[in-house]
Structure 1
Amino acid sequence: MRKILIVGAGQSGLQLALGLQANGYEVTLMTNRTADEIREGRVMSTQCMFTTALQHERDLGLNFWESQAPRIDGLGVSVAGPPGPDAASRPIDWVGHLDGYAQSVDQRVKMAGWMETFAQRGGQLVIHGAAVSDLDYFARRYDLVLVAAGKGELVSMFGRDDSRSPYDKPQRALAVSYVHGLGPRPEHPDFHAVRCNLVPGVGEMFIMPCLTTSGPCDILFWEGIPGGPLDVFEGVKDPREHLRVTLELMKQFLPWEYDRARDVELTDAGGVLAGRYAPTVRNPIGELPSGGLVLGVADVVVANDPITGQGSNNAAKCAASYLESIVSHGDKPFDREWMQAAFDRYWEYAQHVTKWTNAMLAPPPEHVLQLIGAGGRFQAVADRFANAFDNPADFEEWFFEPGLAQAYLASVAAG
């Protein structure tokens, strides 16, 4: 039986561990927190998983919360008017329909539950923070070591790929609040959707239904341009103050969203998060002091800004891709050539996410503004936008090049 060590117990590490376990591998999972510590700690992300990523969980029988989590049937885009009296206007306001529903499950719920399942199924769970020196020891005892912990010392083993990383500093300041008591959008009172609110020159707010430790909730998520009016959360330590600032900014820039959020309360004291990081693609293979090799997983090697909501989707798709690469490799050694090939297979998909996400961090060119505006005139355009969040490769056909965009809009208008 082949022995595999996975360091990191997030979406990718746990999904891969449980998938390998189901395929008969002897898997050790190393993480620095217990299931209870995760469940009782601070929120970790703003995950919204679309249909393909959800199917990877179903394929492994890991969709434990599917019947409880709100079903997200669409994705809406609203663009705020200029500051001043017109701030309450929405020159662009539409919602696209998803072909298959999306869902968001608080990672405190999912990761804690999956960790307990892994242990119950006989997996070796080691609660211990890992350093490079630890991996140097373990690499000699395992057939393969995978690093799925996207923060800390271990990430430094994977060098930055400058050719695939156009940004060397954070492009957004992030602020998250998990809340109870959010009202529906009055124009779609019975329709659950991710709401993308764009404030030109200032930043974005995303609102999404979620399942948390205390039941259904909603996530309020600001992405502010660094140095701008939304970049004010760094020194805020009190969760209630964090929410107060969030709502004040909503009142100023997104009054239509504030109207339904004015009476919200935090789900719990751990329901806020703030930070920033530079989107980075790294080389997938880390070399240990002894010469041993380890393979990076998901956001260890491809970390995108959350502006396009792809983090958990990428993690699930990376885990599924690596699982197939490992199982199909049989008893052959997991050498450098295999590691590079496994990453390259995943990168065939992830490159489209990275290209699209990096594009969305920059000021939109004229043809993109035309496409976003067309979503309000043509339901087909709105629906295609929404479903491209599940399949970002589709953007290559109509989004990035002015000529392709014009041809697409002409075909929609003619139809």
Structure 2
Amino acid sequence: MKHSTRSIAVVGAGQAGLQLALGLRRSGHHVTLVSNRTARQVLDGRVMSTQIMFADALETERRLGLDHWQGEAPAIEGLTFTVAPDAVKAIDFEARLAAPGQSVDQRVKIAAWLEEFTAAGGELRIAEAGVAELEELAASHDLVLVTAGKGEISRIFERDAERSPFTAPQRVAAVSYVHGLRPRDSFVACSASLMPGVGEYFIVPALTKSGPCDCLFLNGVPGGPLDAFADVRSPEEHLDVTKKLLAEFLPWEAERAADAVLTDPGGVLAGRLTPTVREPVATLPSGRKVLGVADVLVVNDPLTGQGSNSAAKCADVYLREILARGDEPFDADWMTATFERFWEYARHVTRWTNGLLPPAPAHVVDLLDAAQRQPGLASRIAEGFNNPTGLDPWWHEPEAARREILPEPAVR
């Protein structure tokens, strides 16, 4: 498709921002990327997430030639699911994915992509962008995309109350990157353990600065027993608290983690966020418009592992829409329509994730229980992580769930 060369600014250098900036630059656009850190500062800093990417999201990187870690990162072949009330396995099954997933420490990925961007002739500005910087960029570029932001930038996109049922964090997260976790006996998998009323625990095989590792991720109900990291004073204490909580709630996982050590002093993270959907277009004091991207607009709790997937898919949608725009202006109507094209996908992620934050409804428990005996159902649940649109309607609606569960064979 033939397209015009435009001048575009991208504020924020995460998964979505850099994927967009590199895609636009490779399509011939003049691109200014604003990052608050250099590649070296990113690489030397603290971990940013427990990113896991599934096949469809990875394909958006491959199309741009950005999949540089295929031979190094562990191939995540499937998922495991455990429901463990009162430290007892009530439900336990595994399922292979149709195509493998992958997790690359964002410090490694973002640092490499930043260097790739400048090598491709992009303009990189190291700055903590605020409204004044957005005004300058909007005056000198055809389009400004905001892919990250704190402080005043985070407040310029208004909350969409109709699409945002929560007004406070629903989980508190604690992450540890480790070496020395005892491997599973079966295939390489991302593991999910659900502790009703307490929270969740995930293990994500990943690649970090020092090679293959595992990301241990506790996601606890605020005020509950997993909300235990506020007073932690060191990375080592962070991991120690994690191990103690595993011993109490998931003793079989504590055994696997007994010899685990941190990958590096920056290999821990703790925090909480409020699931929120925001209006896509912000109006600056001058009247100029800027467009939000990915989790600037759609913030989901990380318990479904969709952050990097949604960011990559949002970048893919926006890139295609920008290239198709030709010489037409990037006006507010186009901005809103572009976001809504992404929302057609993202609404499924939001519905699924938000639905898992309260106690699981009975039909979801029934689905997980049946998946222990029905490999086809187990596979459909696993593939939902790659494409959550495939969970509709049977994950969400009791009657549809009942139709999904095969009848038990008659006892003779």
Give the Cα separation in 2 of the matches to 1:16 and 1:366. Answer: 41
Give the Cα separation in 2 of the matches to 1:98 and 1:294. Answer: 38
Give the aligned residue type for 2:329: P
User: Deviation above 6 Å: which 4+ runs of structure 1?
Assistant: 411-414
Give the Cα separation in 2 of the matches to 1:164 and 1:23. Answer: 34
Give the Cα separation in 1 of the matches to 2:143 and 2:247. Answer: 51
Q: Normalised by the size of structure 1, how large is the TM-score?
A: 0.96
| Aligned residue among 73, 78, 86 for 1:74 | 78
| 1:23 and 2:27 matched | yes
Give the Cα separation in 2 of the matches to 1:66 and 1:152. Answer: 36
Q: Secondary structure at the match of 2:405?
A: helix
Alignment length (residue pairs): 406
Give the aligned residue type for 1:308: T
Alignment of 1:290-305 (within 5 A): 290-305=286-301
Give the Cα separation in 2 of the matches to 1:75 and 1:143. Answer: 43
Deviation at 1:412, TM superposition (A): 9.3
> Residues 151 and 300 of structure 1 are in contact (CA less than 8 Å); yes or no, is this contact kept in structure 2?
no
Give the Cα separation in 2 of the matches to 1:289 and 1:152. Answer: 16
Aligned position for 1:351: 347
Aligned position for 2:132: 133
Q: Secondary structure at the match of 1:410?
A: coil
Gaps of 5+ in 1: none
Give the Cα separation in 2 of the matches to 1:17 and 1:59. Answer: 14
When residues 411 and 316 of structure 1 are mapped into structure 2, their CA distance, relative to the original with a 3 A threshold, is: farther
Aligned position for 1:193: 189
Deviation at 1:411, TM superposition (A): 7.2
Alignment of 1:86-101 (within 5 A): 87=87, 89-101=88-100
Deviation at 1:91, TM superposition (A): 1.4
Aligned position for 2:199: 203
Alignment of 1:352-371 (within 5 A): 352-371=348-367
| 1:401 and 2:397 matched | yes
| 1:61 and 2:65 matched | yes
| 1:390 and 2:386 matched | yes
> Residues 32 and 128 of structure 1 are in contact (CA less than 8 Å); yes or no, is this contact kept in structure 2?
yes
Give the Cα separation in 2 of the matches to 1:18 and 1:243. Answer: 36
Deviation at 1:185, TM superposition (A): 2.3
Aligned position for 1:2: 6
Q: Normalised by the size of structure 2, how large is the TM-score?
A: 0.97
Give the Cα separation in 1 of the matches to 2:408 and 2:312. Answer: 33
Give the aligned residue type for 1:180: H
Alignment of 1:320-339 (within 5 A): 320-339=316-335
Deviation at 1:133, TM superposition (A): 1.2
Aligned position for 2:146: 147
Give the aligned residue type for 1:162: A
> Residues 348 and 388 of structure 2 are in contact (CA less than 8 Å); yes or no, is this contact kept in structure 1?
yes
Aligned position for 1:221: 217
Give the Cα separation in 1 of the matches to 2:6 and 2:348. Answer: 33
Aligned position for 2:179: 180
Alignment of 1:270-309 (within 5 A): 270-309=266-305
The superposition leaves residues 340-394 of structure 1 with CA deviations (integer Å, 9 ceiling, x where unpaired) of 0100100000000000000010111111110011111111111111011011011
Give the aligned residue type for 1:65: W
The superposition leaves residues 85-142 of structure 1 with CA deviations (integer Å, 9 ceiling, x where unpaired) of xx2x311110111001000000000000000000011100001110101111221100
Alignment of 1:227-246 (within 5 A): 227-246=223-242
Give the Cα separation in 1 of the matches to 2:363 and 2:205. Answer: 31
When residues 145 and 413 of structure 1 are mapped into structure 2, their CA distance, relative to the original with a 3 A threshold, is: farther
Q: Secondary structure at the match of 1:207?
A: strand
When residues 407 and 150 of structure 1 are mapped into structure 2, their CA distance, relative to the original with a 3 A threshold, is: farther
Deviation at 1:410, TM superposition (A): 3.3
The superposition leaves residues 143-177 of structure 1 with CA deviations (integer Å, 9 ceiling, x where unpaired) of 00000014332121100000000000000010000
Give the aligned residue type for 2:71: S
Give the Cα separation in 2 of the matches to 1:413 and 1:211. Answer: 44
Aligned position for 1:317: 313
> Residues 380 and 412 of structure 1 are in contact (CA less than 8 Å); yes or no, is this contact kept in structure 2?
no
Give the aligned residue type for 2:6: R
Give the Cα separation in 2 of the matches to 1:412 and 1:396. Answer: 24
| 1:111 and 2:110 matched | yes
Q: Secondary structure at the match of 1:294?
A: strand
> Residues 283 and 301 of structure 1 are in contact (CA less than 8 Å); yes or no, is this contact kept in structure 2?
yes
Give the aligned residue type for 1:228: G
Two-structure CA RMSD over aligned residues (Å): 1.2
Give the Cα separation in 2 of the matches to 1:222 and 1:258. Answer: 12
Q: Secondary structure at the match of 1:100?
A: strand
| 1:374 and 2:370 matched | yes
Gaps of 5+ in 2: none
Give the Cα separation in 1 of the matches to 2:310 and 2:33. Answer: 20
Deviation at 1:408, TM superposition (A): 1.0
Deviation at 1:192, TM superposition (A): 0.7
Aligned position for 1:122: 121
Give the Cα separation in 1 of the matches to 2:10 and 2:332. Answer: 17
